[in-house]
């Protein structure tokens, strides 16, 4: 693909894979009870446990609303036995805590220098309160003193349009390949970027993330209010290994759509023309609360330094999925994190985390 002389790609930047070494994980502390209506009480304690697990392995950059929130959160983390020496606090107001989607997407060049791609966040084209979250990449850029780019495309009238993208809608192997879904990025119903074509998006991914090839899945799972985020269905486990969710129950609405995605993966090829190694990951039984089917999936795992955190749902498939991930990531501790309460907020472990790659 042709590239701009000033694009991150032209300057040698690419988006690293999640399994590459981290400097830190970014999280935003939950503060809005309406994100878990009627079930908010256990959520801060769940976050405290996740901070404990992460801080044992890497730094945690924790966003809190204000000084009073920081004091309260410090007390909770201390009681949860988290290593506060590994936690840095940032008093920035947010709308929600899904840092994967609103936070910065880091890139790194061949010399190990970090940069930030600052995509527009618009509440998943679904919610009105997103403007505080949209400021997160800029705040992180200023704090860390990194170069930053706002991805744009040229329009017919000669102006430039900033591109909307959430981190949960993409997954990369760090070597030029990306996974995403047509439902999220190309939907005519809930379109992030009206009038922007598939080819234009692929060019933007090339210019700003160093992507050579996009592997397009079709749709995401039932209950996903983000319109098909790929981090609920299909993830890279290595440069040429892909983990993908499957649902054998033909009566489940996820069966057909996940089968189609599996077929697409089997037809896909590596840049060398080989088939990918595909690992099938089961789905948990439907998780329902207040009559609503929730987007519960084991694929929403997070790869940290030395560990993989996987959501569990008090399901017989929990141990099956944990064993599959343990085989896929043999050098990491695969840890189940109870997420029946968390998923009521329509997100899980990958949705709440954003990795900052190690520089150098």
Residues of the chain with pLDDT under 50: 1-3
Using a 10 angstrom Cβ sphere, with 0-12 exposed, 13-18 middle and 19 or more buried, the burial of residue 252 is middle
CA distances from residue 300 to 81, 102, 182, 210, 327 in whole angstroms, order as listed = 25, 17, 19, 24, 17
CA distances from residue 128 to 98, 163, 288 in whole angstroms, order as listed = 15, 18, 25
Is 332 within 8 Å of 322 (Cβ atoms)?
no
pLDDT of 157: 81
pLDDT of 72: 98
| Domains and their CATH numbers in the chain | 22-357 (3.75.10.10)
What do you get for the CA distance between the two ends of the chain, in Å? 28
How many C-beta atoms lie closer than 10 Å to residue 334's C-beta? 19
The CB-side HSE value for 3 (13 A sphere, CA atoms) comes to 20
The DSSP H or E segment spanning 160 is: strand 160-162
Rg (CA), the chain: 19
State the alpha helices, DSSP H only, in the chain.
43-55, 67-79, 99-102, 136-144, 182-185, 198-209, 254-267, 317-328, 349-352
Using a 10 angstrom Cβ sphere, with 0-12 exposed, 13-18 middle and 19 or more buried, the burial of residue 331 is exposed
**How is residue 239 written in tokens?**
């440069």
Adjacent-strand bridge partners of 88: 61
> Measured on CA atoms in the order 351, 258, 280, 223, is the torsion positive or negative?
positive
> Measured on CA atoms in the order 208, 240, 217, 322, is the torsion positive or negative?
negative
pLDDT of 6: 85
Known catalytic residues?
351
Adjacent-strand bridge partners of 269: 275
Rounded distance between C-alpha atoms, residue 56 and residue 333, angstroms: 12
**How is residue 125 written in tokens?**
């084209």
Phi, psi values for residue 232, rounded to 5°: -100, -5
CA distances from residue 271 to 179, 214, 231, 236 in whole angstroms, order as listed = 14, 11, 22, 15
Question: Of 49, 131, 58, 134, nearest to 312 (Cα)?
Answer: 49
Rounded distance between C-alpha atoms, residue 16 and residue 358, angstroms: 10
CA distances from residue 130 to 134, 148, 360 in whole angstroms, order as listed = 6, 21, 33
pTM (two decimals): 0.96
The CB-side HSE value for 193 (13 A sphere, CA atoms) comes to 27
**How is residue 111 written in tokens?**
């010399």
The two beta strands, 241-246 and 277-282, are parallel
């Amino acid at each position: 693909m042709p590239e701009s002389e000033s694009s991150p790609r032209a300057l040698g930047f690419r988006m690293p894979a999640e399994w590459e070494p981290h400097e830190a994980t970014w999280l935003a502390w939950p503060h809005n009870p309406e994100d878990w209506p009627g079930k908010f009480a256990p959520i801060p304690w769940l976050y405290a446990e996740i901070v404990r697990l992460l801080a044992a392995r890497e730094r945690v950059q924790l966003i809190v609303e204000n000084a009073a929130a920081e004091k309260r959160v410090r007390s909770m983390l201390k009681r949860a036995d988290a290593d506060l020496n590994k936690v840095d606090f940032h008093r920035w107001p947010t709308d929600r805590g899904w840092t994967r989607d609103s936070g910065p997407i880091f890139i790194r060049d061949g010399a190990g220098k970090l940069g930030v791609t600052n995509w527009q966040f618009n509440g998943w084209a679904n919610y009105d309160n997103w403007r505080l979250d949209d400021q997160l990449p800029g705040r992180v850029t200023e704090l860390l003193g990194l170069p930053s780019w706002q991805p744009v495309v040229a329009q017919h009238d000669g102006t430039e349009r900033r591109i909307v993208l959430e981190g949960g809608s993409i997954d990369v192997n760090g070597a030029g390949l990306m996974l995403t879904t047509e439902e999220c990025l190309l939907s005519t119903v809930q379109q992030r970027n009206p009038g922007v074509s598939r080819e234009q998006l692929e060019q933007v991914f090339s210019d700003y993330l160093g992507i050579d090839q996009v592997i397009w899945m079709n749709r995401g799972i039932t209950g996903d209010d983000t319109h098909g985020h790929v981090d609920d269905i299909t993830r890279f486990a290595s440069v040429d290994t892909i983990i993908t969710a499957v649902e054998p129950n033909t009566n489940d609405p996820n069966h057909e759509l996940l089968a189609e995605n599996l077929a697409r993966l089997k037809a896909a090829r590596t840049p060398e023309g080989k088939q990918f190694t595909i690992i099938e990951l089961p789905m948990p039984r439907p998780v329902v609360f207040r009559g609503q089917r929730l987007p519960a999936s084991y694929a929403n795992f997070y790869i940290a330094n030395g560990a993989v955190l996987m959501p569990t749902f008090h399901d017989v498939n929990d141990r099956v999925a944990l064993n599959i991930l343990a085989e896929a990531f043999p050098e990491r501790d695969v840890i189940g994190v109870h997420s029946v309460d968390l998923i009521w907020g329509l997100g899980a472990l990958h949705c709440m985390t954003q990795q900052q790659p190690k520089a150098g």
